């Protein structure tokens, strides 16, 4: 049946791992549910039609059964009239015989109507079973649709995150960060080296300035000159 083909197709869509290369499972499931609802409508229409035929066959059965009983009763009445001389015996036999012929025809029609009624009843039972199956499938797949939508949301979010992580590594961001960390370390080392050089240069200049300092020697000379002017110079120094 087309219904089972569609259900199989929906199942394939749900279980296929290559999501990017297949039809949208949500849309496919929704379409499958719509198709099943169309099947349900058609089955309900067919059920109504078959039920109408079953009712008609049952009515025909009752009608032909009543006719058969009616002709049977008429034949009895006619025979009784012939027996009681209310009518000629030959005529009574003829009419009673015709009534029995009509009764037989009504019996045959009643049997056919009964067979048709039984057949239609079986058809009604099968259609009702199919309708219950379709209704159950619709209910199940409507619940599955809710689950599928939730799974697709999770799947899309996970796929997006994994894609971002994959693109992060593929673009060399991690490697770039490692290089930046190494560069900072190099800059820090270079700054420290310049500091050492600056300190070393400053110490050398201080030593040179100290060695080249003539301030004390000049002060000694000035002191001696002042002593000579004042006549305070030691004789041994003269």
Lowest mean pLDDT of 72-76, 99-103, 130-134, 151-155, name the range.
Answer: 151-155
Q: What is the pLDDT of residues 118-158, one digit of tens each?
A: 999 999 999 999 999 999 999 999 998 898 888 888 888 88
C-beta separation of 22 from 16 below 8 A: yes
Is the confidence at residue 163, as pLDDT, over 80? no
pLDDT at residue 164, as a whole number: 72
> Confidence band (pLDDT; 50, 70, 90) for 18?
very low
Q: What's this model's pTM, rounded to 2 decimal places?
A: 0.52
Whole-number Å distance between alpha carbons of 95 and 104: 14
The token duo for 5 is 């083909």
- Which residues 6+ apart lie within 8 Å of 120 measured at CB? 50, 51, 53, 54, 57
Whole-number Å distance between alpha carbons of 104 and 72: 9
- As a whole number, mean pLDDT of residues 152-173 equals 74
> Confidence band (pLDDT; 50, 70, 90) for 223?
confident
Run of H or E residues at 224: helix 215-230
Q: Please give the radius of gyration of the chain, using alpha carbons only, rounded to the nearest integer.
A: 59
């Amino acid at each position: 049946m087309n219904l089972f083909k569609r259900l199989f197709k929906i199942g394939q869509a749900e279980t296929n791992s290559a999501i990017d290369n297949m039809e949208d499972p949500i849309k496919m499931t929704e379409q499958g549910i719509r198709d099943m609802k169309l099947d349900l409508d058609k089955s309900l229409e067919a059920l109504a039609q078959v039920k109408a035929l079953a009712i008609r066959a049952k009515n025909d059965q009752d009608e032909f059964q009543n006719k058969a009983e009616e002709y049977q009763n008429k034949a009895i009445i006619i025979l009784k009239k012939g027996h009681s001389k209310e009518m000629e015996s030959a005529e009574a036999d003829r009419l009673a015989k015709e009534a029995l012929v009509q009764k037989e025809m009504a019996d045959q029609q009643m049997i056919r109507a009964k067979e048709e009624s039984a057949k239609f009843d079986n058809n009604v039972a099968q259609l009702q079973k199919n309708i219950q199956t379709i209704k159950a499938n619709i209910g199940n797949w409507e619940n599955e649709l809710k689950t599928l939508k939730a799974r697709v949301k999770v799947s899309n979010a996970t796929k997006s995150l994994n894609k971002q992580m994959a693109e992060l590594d593929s673009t060399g961001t991690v490697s770039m960060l490692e290089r930046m960390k190494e560069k900072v370390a190099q800059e820090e080392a270079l700054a420290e080296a310049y500091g050492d050089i600056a300190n070393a240069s400053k110490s050398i200049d201080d030593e040179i300035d100290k060695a080249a300092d003539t301030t004390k020697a000049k002060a000694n000379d000035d002191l001696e000159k002042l002593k000579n002017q004042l006549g305070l110079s030691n004789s041994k120094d003269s």
